[in-house]
Amino acid sequence: MHALMMDRPLTLPSILEYAAQYHGQREIVTRTLEGPIHRYGYADALARAKRMANALTAMGVKPGDRVATLAWSTYRHFELYYAVSGIGAILHTINPRLFPDQVAWIANHAEDSVLLYDPGFEDLSDLLAAKVPSLKTRVVMCDAANRPAGTPGDVLNYEDLIDANSPEFIWPEIDERMASALCYTSGTTGNPKGVLYGHRSTVLHSLAVRAPDIYDVAQRDVILPCAQLYHANAWCIPYVGPMAGAKIVFPGRFLDGPSVCELAIAEKATFILGVPIIFQGMLDHLDATGQEITTLRTLIIGGSAPTPALIRRVESKLNVSIRQGWGMTEMSPNGVMNTALHSHGDMTPDDIIARKQKAGRAQWGVDLRIVDDEDNELPRDGVTPGRLQVKGPWVASSYFKGDGPSAFTADGWFDTGDVGALDPEGYLRLTDRAKDVIKSGGEWISSLDLENACSTHPAVALSAAIGVYHPKWDERPLLLVMLKPGETATPDEIKDHVAAQVAKWWIPDEVRIVESLPIGPTGKVMKREPRDQIGVATPLKVTQG
């Protein structure tokens, strides 16, 4: 017997329609690329999204076509999240921080037909026009007064399109399982891979992350998203914000400490999310100026794990409890969130810090398992490490065009490439990326744990632990360390500092002080480059032990 309930497709335009009707004047604030602060409400955003939907339809954009963006976090980019997906096309947000050749490869692989780009990306736009045969139309996201000099005449202006089209538009009926957006992984191993999100999966993900134990977003909140809109499905903020009727403050291009703090103070931010380096910059600025942010209610850290030192510093300075989240582009992106259980009320401060260093606790909608190399599930004892696999209604079932099939198991799980352990309470402790784990004498050494131990040294800014060939043990740890400006420390001092916190056989065979380490777009140290360089550089000082 079927239920006697109405059937309404779970599609994205319904979210902005709701926000416009019930929270129409709730603000969306943007620090524009031109400089001034722009303000409007959800009702205005819906009207402009419908104008752009009319413009795209007139261009000949059809359901399933890929429409690319090279843009920062602004109200115009936000509008495209609805205008493009709402007509059945696919919004392809490209990370402009990638190498130009990677950007061209991605656009070709996606077969983008339209490109909308912010001023400042003229070179990338011209590159794609020359190298992407499928690209038919380009739009610069500004008005005529701010159109960059030398822009080709066939490039359209965003605001001209807005002015020329009607705000009256009826969203077409869309199958909720149709694709809505496309985002490519960073390509740390091999070419980037496309993750194709759907209307249904994104609506379900948005509903789930609004929950009190995840994002805990409500109408009273003022959200300052310090993850750019092109990154990992924008961490779902373009959907969660209007679904809740919360105010959103888009930071534009600049995410440095002074810029973020200025917006947070002026707009009374209650909810900030970003990678650890964002919060380090904020704290440095607040310490230097004596300013305070007094309105924060929720602070989400993702992208990479915060160190114990950063957790203590954030919570002391900002008077807010950190929530660490973990997920992936392939997971829309949220998978787990680190919030306390009721039974944790009697935890000591040290136990609380230890709990907060874990990636987080499983949430409804995401199943987790830890397996060995034969895909046998391992015990949830918090100790036994293995490969982390996930599944759920907002987890990718394959990559775009069938790339990377080995990441998907025969019984329907996605192999994340992470190594970790699950404890009896459901908390996930990530110990490494599978490609970064150091395999020494048949045992695994966590590069993340070595880096966390190193990070507690007061002179250390960043570190990277990598495995280097060893004739007896297969691999041994090499620790690359970048010091804070003006600080000094010897390799032996740092080695002794780490040795006091890890098992004896984990102690790095060598510590090297380096001037810099390569940082990726999410603030993580990119280990592939130093690993490749070490392969041909001065050999490790072998400890035969």
Active site residues: 185, 330, 439, 444
Q: In the structure encoding, which two tokens stand for residue 28, read together?
A: 């969306």
Region for residue 60 given its phi and psi (left: phi exceeds 0; alpha: psi -120 to 50; beta: otherwise): left
Q: How far is CA 323 from CA 5, 147, 244, in A?
A: 37, 41, 19
Return d(Cα 515, Cα 480) in angstroms, integer: 10
Return d(Cα 76, Cα 199) in angstroms, integer: 21
Return d(Cα 174, Cα 180) in angstroms, integer: 10
Return d(Cα 435, Cα 447) in angstroms, integer: 10
- Residue 476, helix vs strand vs coil: strand
Return d(Cα 50, Cα 144) in angstroms, integer: 21
Sign of CA dihedral 95, 100, 103, 107: positive
Residues β-bridged to residue 256: none
Longest Cα pair distance anywhere in the chain, in angstroms?
75
For the chain, what percentages of helix, strand and coil (3-state, to nearest 5) are there? 35, 25, 45
Q: In the structure encoding, which two tokens stand for residue 202, read together?
A: 């994104």
Nearest to 225 by CA among 117, 75, 373, 338: 75
Element at 499 (helix H, strand E): helix 491-499
Element at 493 (helix H, strand E): helix 491-499
- Residue 444, helix vs strand vs coil: strand
